[in-house]
Amino acid sequence: MSNKTFHIQTFGCAMNEHDSETIAGLLSEMGYESTEQKKEASVAIINTCSVRDNADKRFFGTLGQLKKIKEMNPDFTVCVCGCMMQQQHVIDTVKQKYPWVDIIFGTHNIHQFPKLLESVLGEKQKMVDVWDDGGDIVEGLPVKRQFAHKALVNIMFGCNNFCTYCIVPYTRGRERSRHSEEILAEVRELVRDGVQEITLLGQNVNSYQGDVDFAGLIRKLNEVEGLERIRFMTSHPKDISEELIRAYQDCHKLCNHIHLPVQAGSNRVLERMNRKYTREHYLDLIRKFRETRPDIAITTDIIVGFPGETEEDFQDTLSLVREVEYDSAFTFLYSVRKGTPAEKYEDQVPEDIKHERFNRLVDLMNELSLKKNKALEGQVASVLVEGTSKTKEDTLTGRTEGFKTVNFKGPKDIIGTIVPVRITEGKTFNLEGIFIEK
């Protein structure tokens, strides 16, 4: 085949983004080049997410579009993978309603994709290969990174927590951690390649248990010469250790930010969610983080309208949000997931009440984000410059340690470096600044 190009569309979290980087790496090794245009690709891959119903819907919408391309070009190979494919009912639907899909694979056998693709191309037949669980971690897969100066690094896979609303434990299998030496070797290689900032990835990074624990891993990474910034996503409040809080004191490369999903402010709801911590414990953690790093940025995830949530429970969420004064939050409407315990709960909250609460929470969050961002006006932030702004060609954009986007004017040759920027205006969703030349 002469045209060897691929197009990947990714839904979902950073874990999926990174899996797509691996798929791109594998395809590049096979001699494929990436293209922005689906129509021009010889291989299209959709990497799916199943965390909420709207992600499912968007996937089926996208598949519908691909059908038209397939009709015009029978050699167009369509592959679907990711979390949705780890559910039998989804595979059944794809096979029934979209029989022209060529390859279905899962989250646990990405490394086998080249073999699947070769046999499908050679034998002109369809292929479904999805594994139930992860088995041993496959090291050394090629990665084609999206960004030159920051990189995603898996440290653990899977989740053992079974929060009652969540599909992830069913799509990503049980927890497995990489050996710290493998992680360190990867990070050193990334740094040699120009990476300044790494984000350690896992569904529950702070339950990482390789040859060292999570705080131990951070301490080792903090020693890597040339590495400037360490972030991680996502941590679970029940597994925040005293050692991790101490690491914030000692490890200066650890960014001044923690994303700590709270999900709800009511103990009754937290219990029914199987979160295994209380509001009081969570607030105590926040206090300890702030004692250690007084100006740490704190962000969170919140679900509104979990089954049985009363107005009083929701008020507990609002009051917790006010008390913590988050820098920002991802807020979600509860979405029923097939096969999870909460699907069976009979006291589902009516849609209109969910939406009304959601809007109140978003209003409060926006008020707090604006307040937090305004408080930064006049301060100098260190910013990793990521590129030019999507909307204004002459404006650069980057992130502070606190994970806030800053837009400012400056020369293009500072892209990929960490520079001082004076914050001139704090807005609800980002900051404006002035580049301070040395």
What token pair was written down for 32? 């494929």
> Which CB sits closer to ligand SF4, 163 or 286?
163
- Site mask, ligand SF4, residues 105-144, x = CB under 6 A? ----------------------------------------
Site membership for ligand SF4, residue 236 (CB under 6 A) = yes
Q: At what angle are helices 113-123 and 14-29 packed, to 10 degrees?
A: 50
Q: Indicate which single residue of 81, 90, 168, 320 sits in contact with ligand F3S (rule: CB under 6 A).
A: 168
CA distance 284 to 290: 10
- Judged by beta carbon, residue 79 or residue 201, the one nearer ligand SAH is 201
Written as six digits, the tokens of 66 are 């691909």
Q: Which of 83, 297, 320, 396 binds ligand F3S (CB under 6 A)?
A: 83
Is residue 50 at the binding interface for ligand F3S, with CB under 6 A as the rule? yes
Q: Which stretch binds ligand F3S (CB under 6 A): 36-44, 164-172, 296-304, 414-422?
A: 164-172
163 binds ligand SF4 (CB under 6 A): yes
Please list every residue from 320 through 359 that binds ligand SAH, using CB under 6 A.
332, 334-335, 337
Q: Closest CB to ligand F3S among 49 and 155?
A: 49
Three-class DSSP category at 48: strand
* Residue with smaller CB distance to ligand SF4, 206 or 397: 206
Q: Select from 147, 162, 330, 429 the one that contacts ligand SF4 (CB under 6 A).
A: 162
Q: How far apart are CA 296 and CA 255, in angstroms?
A: 9
Query: Minimal CA–CA distance to 258: which of 271, 270, 244?
Result: 244
Residue 400 to residue 74: CA distance in whole angstroms: 47
Assess contact for 415 and 407: CB atoms under 8 A: no
Please name which of 326, 328, 304, 327 lies closest in space to residue 317, comparing C-alpha atoms. Answer: 304
Rule CB under 6 A: which of 276-315 touch ligand SAH?
301, 303
Residues contacting residue 389 through CB under 8 Å, at least 6 positions apart: 395, 396, 397, 407
Q: Does 340 bind ligand F3S (CB under 6 A)?
A: no
Select the residue whose beta carbon is closest to ligand F3S and give its number: 12
Cα separation, 281 vs 75, whole angstroms:
57
Binding site for ligand F3S (CB under 6 A): 12-13, 15-16, 49-51, 82-83, 167-168, 171-172
